[in-house]
Structure 1
Amino acid sequence: MTFRSLIDRVATGWLLLWLSFFAVYIHMGGLAFAGLVILLGAVGWVVWLTQRQEYPALTRPGLVCLSAFLIFFLWLGVSGLWSGAGPETAIRLAGQMALFASIPILLRTRTEQTRDTLSHILMAMSLGGVAVLALDVASGYGINTLLDPIGPGESLNKRQGEAEMNIGRGHVVYALLTPLLIALFATRLSRGWAIAASLGFVAVLLTGTLLNRLAVAPVLLIGAAPLFWMGFRSPRWGLRLSLGAACASILLAPLVGVISRLMGEGVMASLPMSWDHRLRMWDYSLARISEAPLLGKGLDSSRNMQDAFTTRIGVDVPFVSLHPHNFGLQTWMEAGALGAVLLTIALLTLYRPLRRLVGVDPWRSAAVSGTLMSATIASAVTVGAWQYWWWGLVGLGLTLAALIPSQHRLNTNRLTD
């Protein structure tokens, strides 16, 4: 056995091992996706070292894209100098991005049989995992308590609150990955099983979110559906529209604060408390952006904002709860207009690498376009801009589209069946 074949086998085993825990990561709230990128990315670069003659490290569009993101992270790190947070978060994100760049190589160098096995692992883990999430909510988070019993003196309410938050994130993760999973069902299963798996997955996901009183996941599914369809019909326009939406959500984010301010006290008070808080948070964020519109207030500065308001039930809560719950507003607030422009440029450079990934394959294009739209919506209403797990999840959600069989292979299989 040659050194190259040994590395290749180890890499395949590594992929199979870590992706087999897919549902576990999600049940934990998705936080392990940052670590997964590190584990897979490191092995991906080792694989590239043994196969660098056949597979260049990065194509020119890929190098331009990586450079654009690294420039943005450099500016983000510089902004940490005047917020007092330092550049650590930006450095870690840049390192994660550099590691992630090898994962497409890792997937592309696997055999079709390996990609088929990985696809079935992801499909099985997702179908089982989304059902376990729903059962956990229905049992009052009994599965969480069973796996991690409550210790002496530990608060039951606190543990249930943490479980509710983790499962809520898990539902958001599954909603984000729904376009990818439906494309895998459609291309890896027979027509009847694909329809049953797709309908069953979505039904169980919606049931779980209903039991968990989470409105975000259904919004992601609804928002991604038109782009999924557009990507299937036209790979070029699916990518253009979904990336365009992502860029607009960053560049035009201050308009969210303007709209929130125009809502007024009466409208805010009539909404559910979570949305009341968000609107006030976005209004407050707009005010902070106006204080340093060009350079921003610095990386992670939103974590230290303690100004509070009194809720309708008489409790004082901070306007900003760790972060503004809007990717674009957080970018503007912490990195300024310069940071928003640099991030928008970086997002635009994704077009050519993603276009190369999807080619003319409708299912790949549908998966990538739908995933991009889901990520854009979630980033606009719920996640923090610099959360490592979120960057890892979105990156993997896009890259795993490489597991979807090409249209040429699907046509070949149908001719030989």
Structure 2
Amino acid sequence: MSPAPPRAADGRWTAGVLAGLLLLTPLLGWAGALGFAPAVALAGLLTLPSLRVRVADRTLLLALFTALVWACASAFWSPWRAPDLEGQTGLKLVFMLALYSSAVSAARAVSEAALKGLLKVLVAAVGLLSAILIVEALTAAAGYKALLGAFGQTVRPDYAVKNVAQGLYVLTLLAPPALVAAKGRVRWALAALALAGIMFPAWKFGYDAPVLAAAIAAATALLVWRFPAAGPRILGGLAASAFLATPLLVSSAFALGLDARLAPYLSESWMQRLGYWKKAVDWIWARPLPGWGLDASRAFGPGIRLHPHDAALQIWMELGLIGAVAAAIVWAAIFTGLSRPARSPAAAASAAAAAAYLVFGAVSFGVWQEWWLGLGALTALACILVLRARTIDLSSHSV
């Protein structure tokens, strides 16, 4: 038997690496969300030969590269100084952009035959993670505690719940593309399981953000399904406007006293976020053009702990106007790239996942967290897989 052509062999290798990454997803979502950073980076390194830059991606990549260069330069005037090499965010961003981009690009390099198998793995991964989260919610994270106990470690009950609840973010982001990848009765079963896997643990653990993100993701999918050409462009404009106008909007809200009016209805965690946002806009207006430099928000405690818990405010605060414009271009490019002449379930699901990522970034995580950026790359990878599988017009078919 003659050996397979190198390109076919490379395609099988790439598909195998992506399958391994997807198979790890339920485990990482349940027991170690921080592991998404090395897992996605390793997948990108192993598939680096398949990296290709499409003409359609040049605007997005140029904006990302501009933001990277500006972020690294801004470290020179930042008041924050990392205590060790591991804390050098600028250096890590260089490697993350290269390796995470490679992992995302690998989704375009797998063959059509391998694509079907990867979609099945995606469906299975989302279903398994949903089931794990439901069981953990029923048992107060007993499985996670037992896992740590097997390695001779102990964890506070509240920390166990917090760590397991990270899986809610993973599930909310990956559920839309997985639902498109599933077929027939499997899709309906997965939809019910994923919905229960988000809503029940979110209620049991007391997490609002996954519920909010799921609702906005559903509305986004409906908009793109109803208006396949204009919907993504509208979303791109809204996302770009949000990144550019957030400091003004937040300042106006505080000036009108909306924080005081909402205070009786908000939990302690939301009140803490409002405090961070108020401090952040004060610092933004002090240096709106250059910003305070990469990781500067770490230096403004105790008013802000680590970061403002809002992506737009953090970018404005640290990278100023240039960073905000670059972020606006990135998200405008992501959404407008999903515009289609006819209805596409995959485009609607991809827009939903992007919207959920924006919601989480607006209320929860720091922009530069490695695992969070890695999870974003994994979500983009999953969306590319379903976009490749659903290239035909399905507007006249039952979905």
Shorter chain as denominator, the TM-score bin is 0.7 to 0.9
Partners of 1:267 and 1:351 lie apart in 2 by 32
Offset, 1:271:
2.2
Q: Does 1:180 align with 2:177?
A: yes
Aligned to 2:283: 288
Aligned to 1:31: 34
Q: Does 1:60 align with 2:55?
A: yes
Provide Cα deviations, 1:173-228, integer angstroms capped at 9, x if missing partner: 2112222122222xxx22x3322321222023211111111111111111111210
Provide Cα deviations, 1:158-181, integer angstroms capped at 9, x if missing partner: xx2332222222112211222212
Aligned to 2:312: 328
Provide Cα deviations, 1:252-287, integer angstroms capped at 9, x if missing partner: 111224424523556435521111111111111111
Partners of 1:151 and 1:32 lie apart in 2 by 17
The TM-score with structure 1 as length reference comes to 0.84
Aligned to 1:111: 111
Q: Which amino acid aligns with 1:390?
A: W
Aligned to 2:195: 202
Q: Does 1:41 align with 2:44?
A: yes
Partners of 1:372 and 1:15 lie apart in 2 by 20
> Structure 1 regions of 5+ residues with no counterpart?
49-56, 308-318
The TM-score with structure 2 as length reference comes to 0.87
Aligned to 1:85: 81
SS for the counterpart of 1:395 is: helix
Offset, 1:247:
1.6
CA contact (8 A) 2:227 2:343 kept: no
Q: Does 1:368 align with 2:350?
A: yes
Partners of 2:128 and 2:110 lie apart in 1 by 25
Identity %: 25
Aligned counterpart for 2:214 among listed residues 208, 221, 226: 221
Structure 1 229/150 Cα, relative in aligned 2: closer, same or farther at 3 Å? same
SS for the counterpart of 1:170 is: helix
Offset, 1:299:
1.1
CA contact (8 A) 1:227 1:366 kept: yes
Q: Does 1:259 align with 2:253?
A: yes
Supply the RMSD in Å over aligned alpha carbons.
2.8
Paired positions, count: 386
Offset, 1:410:
7.2
Aligned to 1:312: none
SS for the counterpart of 1:102 is: helix
Q: Does 1:132 align with 2:132?
A: yes
CA contact (8 A) 2:31 2:163 kept: yes
Partners of 1:360 and 1:343 lie apart in 2 by 28
Offset, 1:361:
5.8
Partners of 1:12 and 1:200 lie apart in 2 by 27
CA contact (8 A) 2:308 2:314 kept: yes
> Which has the higher mean CA deviation after the structures are superposed, 4-13 or 206-215?
4-13
Q: Which amino acid aligns with 1:392?
A: G
Structure 1 28/360 Cα, relative in aligned 2: closer, same or farther at 3 Å? farther
Q: Which amino acid aligns with 1:174?
A: L
Aligned to 1:385: 367
Partners of 1:149 and 1:269 lie apart in 2 by 40
Aligned to 1:99: 99
Q: How does 1:269-288 map to 2 (within 5 A)?
A: 271-288=266-283
> Which has the higher mean CA deviation after the structures are superposed, 286-295 or 337-346?
337-346
> Which has the higher mean CA deviation after the structures are superposed, 371-380 or 257-266?
257-266
CA contact (8 A) 1:25 1:32 kept: yes
Offset, 1:407:
4.5
Aligned counterpart for 1:248 among listed residues 221, 241, 246: 241
Partners of 2:350 and 2:94 lie apart in 1 by 22
SS for the counterpart of 2:81 is: coil
Structure 1 169/260 Cα, relative in aligned 2: closer, same or farther at 3 Å? farther
Partners of 1:37 and 1:130 lie apart in 2 by 21
> Structure 2 regions of 5+ residues with no counterpart?
none
Partners of 2:367 and 2:105 lie apart in 1 by 27
Partners of 1:89 and 1:217 lie apart in 2 by 27
